[in-house]
Amino acid sequence: MKFKLPFNKKQTPIVIQATKENVEMIIPEENNFTQMIKDATHNPSDLIVKSIPPNLTLIYIKNLVNDQILNDHIITNLQNKIYETPETIKLSLSLPEVNISSQLEETVASLVNGSVLIYVEGYSPVVLANIPKRESRSLSAPENESQVIGAQVGFNESLSTNISLVRRNIVSPDLCNEEFKVGKRSNTSLSLIYMNGIASDEMVNTLRQRIKDLDVDALLDSAVLVEMIDDNSLSPFPQMLLTERPDRFCDGLLNGKLGVIVDGSSMAIVCPQSFIEFFESREDKNLRWQVATFVRLLRFTAIFLSIFLTPIYVGALTFHYEVIPQAFLVPLSESRALVPFPPVFEALLLEFIIELLREAGARLPTKIGQTIGIVGGIVIGTAAVQAGITSNILLIIVALSALASFTTPSYTMGNVIRLIRFPIIILAGFWGFFGIMLAFCFILIHLLRQTSLGAPYMAPFYPPRFQDMRDSLIRMPLPYTAKRPSNVRPADEDKFNPEPIKPEKS
Amino acid sequence: MKKVTFYIIPLFLLSILVGCAETDILDRVGLTTLVGYDVGTEERMSTTVVVREVNPEFQSNVEVITTENETSKGNRMKANRKLSKKITIGQMRVVLFGEELAKDDLHSYLDSLLENPSVSNSLYLAVVEGETSVLLEHEYKNIDDIGQHIYRLMEQNIKYEHMISSTLHEIAHDFYMVGKDSAIPIIKKEGELVELTGVAIFNDGKMVSSLSLEDSFYVKLLRDNFKSGIFETILKEEDIPPNLIKGTSNEMPVAFDAIKSKRELKLVDATTPEFDFQLKLKARLLEIYPDVESGDPKVIERLEDAMVKNLTREISRVIAHCQNVQSDIFGFGEKYRSSVRNSNLSKEKLHDMYKDMKVNIKVEFEILRDGVFE
């Protein structure tokens, strides 16, 4: 198994300094204590120090705590009553998460996490009442992975909401959730989620170790995490799935895959993922198997068209005019007759324009984005043909391959499909079909060498697993797909008893 | 460092080898669709090429150019001097040979066609009655692109089994096979049209005789299996059973279609040699004149007998003609070679033997349906 993590190539043994840092104790004196906290947090303007006579001081950061709970449960409880010790305060507060600590570092960490420090004059331990304010948007439909039939809810940016979505889909005590903090400065929490009894222990250990070994200062999105923890970070092909659909995430978990949800990111990670699975949509499971098979085959055809159609045009027109069918010959050459460029330049130009349109559409606000589509598609397209810069047959081909690349259910994979087209076009312009074949072989060899969390990337075709092929290019009826895919090495192989419920058709 | 060189060397080769590939950009080449070879008046051969050129102004136009030179490559160079675009032959669909040239020898022409990798092996060959240049240079009223027209003409006739197939692949196969000679369709300019008029039969590389269009059906019957052919013949007086006919005429034209045929060739005696040729035919009766009582099974039976007689006679006639001119276009020699051990057959040996070859023909004919079709 490979561990190619660019961020911890020079792994130094972790030196245990815990006892040394934790010894800094809180001094039981009011002024000094406040000053210590202010120093430790560099005296931010939203740090509130509120004293409640006779002997209590509350310290909290205004934007991190829930004001309502603070008013209703803490201030009203503490006012006009006399508490002697931190223990009595802890007992009197009707809050779920109240701790007592006398160590400065723990106290400050708790403060920035949304705690209210309750300091009792003359005592070293302080009460930490954790009442964080969670800013999160409401749940909405997944925008990048929409589907017609199926659940219309997507993950949002809050870790706890996302986990609750998962827990609502899989109601089981076997659903394991391990929390990690990643990033020295950002202290981002993330959850490793898997099904105990289905997921392979070895893979859980591998992923846990990869996350723990991360030595980064900040982690702002799960897509960054994927690039740091996948098997080959230098490959353009993603080896872990990024999804914003809870049902797709849970489907992975139930198949024995592992999931990672990062706080602050609406995309969850599913791994191990094989190449072919990037082109499978959750909706395929919701459709009848004949329809699902048709849609999948359509999608795979689209991908081949998307990658090879423009290069074949370039190759055929530059070198292999022999292979053009006679019926195409006249329309092709007549539409090319006005074009002053060689086919490779013509194709690159048009692909470049299409990519520009896509990028502009993605960056612009939604309302202007639609205008860009019309301007690009109709105005530039027809104008380019009339000006004689491109042939209209190539315009159709390029538009078709752009359209086909958007059928990929995974956006990250769709990007790769669009990217690898460019070197193939250039090679087709250099050497014709030989160049296309060279590129194809290169890509194939590259794909065969990839792994995803140690599992073969081209499964179930290489290594051939006929059982798993039933749910890859095609989707067989449910009774035939009762086994979990073998490349995740599931602890429990059977999803359900494959015998039909109605044994005899009456 | 090793890894770096591992990547850099292919990249370096990649960048310098780019210049080595010769481009043929579609709209910058003249596409030859048809080539005709004739015997030259001053030099060895005369070549007529039909070239399609694409120009932005004229959309596309077809040029017919005749040149004379010693070799076909020399002719191409000469033709290039008359055209604005480089001549390429990758889209060539038909090759025509003048009659005089075909009677001389086709071997070298076939060789040069086969040896060129950009020449398709599925192009059609045909012999032109008279000169190819006359056929091609004529300004036809209704034919825009003569190259395309002749290709379509041959394609549809071969596809619907009106004519024997003559792709370069098949002809070359027959030429280089010891036990067989080839047969190529003949075309002719007929006023403002081009017409298929018969089959040229060859002895080795030389055209020795020709068969009429009617006989080409029998040639195809003897060489290949029909899947759904169409056929018309005239039953002569001696074929017709006395009680079949009502009127006074002594000839009966009949037409069949959806013909299915199966042939079986057996060597029964290696010394003469003697062959048994069995032919099974199934067909639909389309037309018959004068009308017969086609609902009566007995009449149909008599008609079948009459057809068997007619076919046997016609086939024997065709074979006898081919024996006469020493052209084994049916592949009897190949059957002999594959059945007789250590036969050491050569073309000369075959043609000696072929004269005295005996063929017993057995025909079974079955009329499947009759009445109105299509």
Q: B169 and B192: one domain?
A: yes
Domain ranges of chain A: 25-130, 159-273, 289-456
Contact B23 A318 (CB under 8 A): yes
Q: How many CB pairs under 8 A join A and B?
A: 64
Chain A CB contacts of B26 under 8 Å are 316-317, 321, 324, 329, 332-333, 336, 343
Flag whether residue A239 sits within 8 Å of chain B, measured between CB atoms: no
Identify the pLDDT of residue A248: 93
Contact A432 B91 (CB under 8 A): no
Q: B50 and B166: one domain?
A: yes
**Least confident stretch, A232-241, A427-436, B120-129, B225-234:** B225-234
Flag whether residue A329 sits within 8 Å of chain B, measured between CB atoms: yes
Q: What residues form DSSP beta bridges with A101? A: A126
**Least confident stretch, A487-501, B34-48, B129-143, B149-163:** A487-501
CB atoms within 10 A of CB B310: 21
Flag whether residue A334 sits within 8 Å of chain B, measured between CB atoms: yes
Flag whether residue A501 sits within 8 Å of chain B, measured between CB atoms: no
Contact A343 B25 (CB under 8 A): yes
Identify the pLDDT of residue A500: 63
In this complex, which of B21, B27, B148 lies closest to A319 when CB atoms are compared?
B21
Question: In chain B, count of helices (H) and strands (E)?
Answer: 11, 13
Identify the pLDDT of residue A1: 38
Q: For residue A250, how far is the Cα from the chain centroid? A: 14
Chain A CB contacts of B18 under 8 Å are 430-431
Q: Which of A394, A430, A434, A436 to mutate to test the interface with B (most CBs of B within 10 A)?
A: A430
Identify the pLDDT of residue A8: 46
Q: B205 and B173: one domain?
A: yes
Chain B CB contacts of A332 under 8 Å are 26
Question: DSSP state, B196?
Answer: E
Q: B47 and B81: one domain?
A: yes
Q: What residues form DSSP beta bridges with B34? A: B50, B94
Q: What percent of chain B has pLDDT over 70?
A: 95
Going by pLDDT thresholds of 50, 70 and 90, the confidence category of residue A387 is confident
B57 versus A4: the higher-pLDDT residue is B57
Going by pLDDT thresholds of 50, 70 and 90, the confidence category of residue A505 is low
Identify the pLDDT of residue A3: 46
Scan residues 423-452 of A and list those with Cβ closer than 8 Å to B. Answer: 430-432
Flag whether residue A342 sits within 8 Å of chain B, measured between CB atoms: yes
Contact A326 B91 (CB under 8 A): yes
In this complex, which of B14, B23, B120 lies closest to A319 when CB atoms are compared?
B23
Flag whether residue A333 sits within 8 Å of chain B, measured between CB atoms: yes
Flag whether residue A338 sits within 8 Å of chain B, measured between CB atoms: yes
Q: Which of B16, B18, B23, B53 to mutate to test the interface with A (most CBs of A within 10 A)?
A: B23
- Dist CA A275 CA A240 (whole Å): 9
Reference B355, options B335, B332, B325; nearest CA is: B325
Q: CA Rg, chain B, in Å? A: 26
Q: For residue B283, how far is the Cα from the chain centroid? A: 24
Q: B146 and B239: one domain?
A: no
Over the stretch A163-199, which tens digit does the pLDDT of each residue have? Answer: 999 999 999 999 999 999 999 888 899 999 999 999 9
Minimum Cα–Cα distance from B92: chain A residue: A322
Domain membership of residue B14 (yes or no) is: no
Question: CB neighbours of A451 closer than 8 A, spacing ≥ 6?
Answer: A1, A2, A231, A232, A239, A272, A457
- Give one DSSP letter per residue of A10-41, joined into a string: SPPPPP--HHHHHT-BPPS-HHHHHHHHHHHT
**Structure token pair of residue A139:** 């749940």
Q: B203 and B238: one domain?
A: no
Identify the pLDDT of residue B17: 80
- Dist CA B325 CA B302 (whole Å): 35
CB A481 within 8 A of CB A470: yes
Minimum Cα–Cα distance from A336: chain B residue: B27
In this complex, which of A319, A333, A343 lies closest to B60 when CB atoms are compared?
A333
- Give one DSSP letter per residue of A71-82, joined into a string: IIIIIHHHTT--
- Dist CA B123 CA B111 (whole Å): 14
Over the stretch A439-466, which tens digit does the pLDDT of each residue have? Answer: 999 999 999 999 999 999 998 998 999 9
Identify the pLDDT of residue A144: 85
**Structure token pair of residue A44:** 């931010």
Over the stretch B175-207, which tens digit does the pLDDT of each residue have? Answer: 888 888 999 999 999 888 999 999 999 988 899
Cβ-in-10-Å burial (0-12, 13-18, 19+) of B3 comes to: exposed
Contact B118 A322 (CB under 8 A): yes
Question: CB neighbours of A289 closer than 8 A, spacing ≥ 6?
Answer: A475, A476, A477, A478
Reference A302, options A204, A390, A402, A380; nearest CA is: A402
Question: CB neighbours of B13 closer than 8 A, spacing ≥ 6?
Answer: none
Interface pTM, i.e. ipTM: 0.83
CB B237 within 8 A of CB B251: yes
Flag whether residue A405 sits within 8 Å of chain B, measured between CB atoms: no
Over the stretch B59-118, which tens digit does the pLDDT of each residue have? Answer: 668 889 888 888 888 888 888 888 888 888 888 999 999 999 999 888 889 999 999 888
Identify the pLDDT of residue B1: 67
Q: B132 and B266: one domain?
A: no
Q: B241 and B289: one domain?
A: yes
Residue B67, helix vs strand vs coil:
strand
**Least confident stretch, A118-132, A270-284, A410-424:** A118-132
* CATH for B235: 3.30.300.210
Question: DSSP state, A357?
Answer: H
Name the minimum distance, in Å, from the CA of A460 to any CA of chain B.
Answer: 30
Taking phi first (over 0 means left), then psi (-120 to 50 degrees means alpha), and beta for anything else, what does residue B331 get?
A: left
Task: Show the DSSP H helices in A319-387 as ranges.
Answer: 326-336, 343-363, 366-374, 381-386
Over the stretch B163-177, which tens digit does the pLDDT of each residue have? Answer: 899 999 999 999 888
Identify the pLDDT of residue B373: 55
Domain holding B30, by residue range, is: 20-212
Domain membership of residue B229 (yes or no) is: yes
**Structure token pair of residue B160:** 């619907």
Minimum Cα–Cα distance from A314: chain B residue: B25
Chain B CB contacts of A436 under 8 Å are none
In this complex, which of B18, B27, B151 lies closest to A333 when CB atoms are compared?
B27
Contact A317 B90 (CB under 8 A): no
Q: B33 and B62: one domain?
A: yes
- Dist CA B37 CA B112 (whole Å): 13
CB atoms within 10 A of CB B69: 19
In this complex, which of B14, B60, B88 lies closest to A321 when CB atoms are compared?
B88
Domain membership of residue B219 (yes or no) is: no
Axis-axis angle for helices A159-169, A246-254 (nearest 10) = 60
Domain membership of residue B149 (yes or no) is: yes
Cβ-in-10-Å burial (0-12, 13-18, 19+) of B257 comes to: middle
Identify the pLDDT of residue A2: 43
- Dist CA A269 CA A273 (whole Å): 10
Q: Is the pLDDT of residue A17 over 70?
A: no
Cα B1-B3-B8 angle, rounded to 5 deg? 90
Name the minimum distance, in Å, from the CA of B56 to any CA of chain A.
Answer: 5
In this complex, which of A322, A324, A333 lies closest to B54 when CB atoms are compared?
A333
- Dist CA A97 CA A115 (whole Å): 9
Minimum Cα–Cα distance from B24: chain A residue: A319
Q: B61 and B187: one domain?
A: yes
Domain membership of residue B99 (yes or no) is: yes
CB B192 within 8 A of CB B349: no
Instruction: Indicate the number of domains in chain B.
Output: 2
Flag whether residue A135 sits within 8 Å of chain B, measured between CB atoms: no
The DSSP bridge pattern shows strands B45-55 and B29-39 to be antiparallel
- Dist CA A3 CA B177 (whole Å): 63
